Amino acid sequence: MRLECKSLEPGPLSEKGVGGIIDCRITDSSTPVKHLSDAYGVVELALRALGVSTKPVFTENENIGDSYMLYKFHVIEEGVSLASIRLVTHNERPIRLVITIDKLAMSMMGGRDK
61-77 confidence digits (pLDDT tens):
999 999 999 999 999 98
pLDDT of 108 reads 65
Query: Residue 67: how many CB atoms within 10 A of its CB?
Result: 11
pLDDT, one tens digit per residue, over 39-58 is 999 999 999 999 988 899 99
Q: Which band of pLDDT confidence, cut at 50, 70 and 90, is reported for residue 81?
A: confident
Residue 40 and residue 73: Cα distance in Å, rounded?
9
Q: How confident is the model at residue 114 (pLDDT cuts 50, 70, 90)?
A: very low
Q: What is the mean pLDDT of the chain?
A: 91
pLDDT for 12? 93
Tell me, what's the pLDDT at 21? Answer: 95
Residue 92 CB contacts under 8 Å (≥ 6 apart), including other chains: 32, 33, 34, 69
Of the two residues 19 and 106, the one the predictor is more confident about is 19
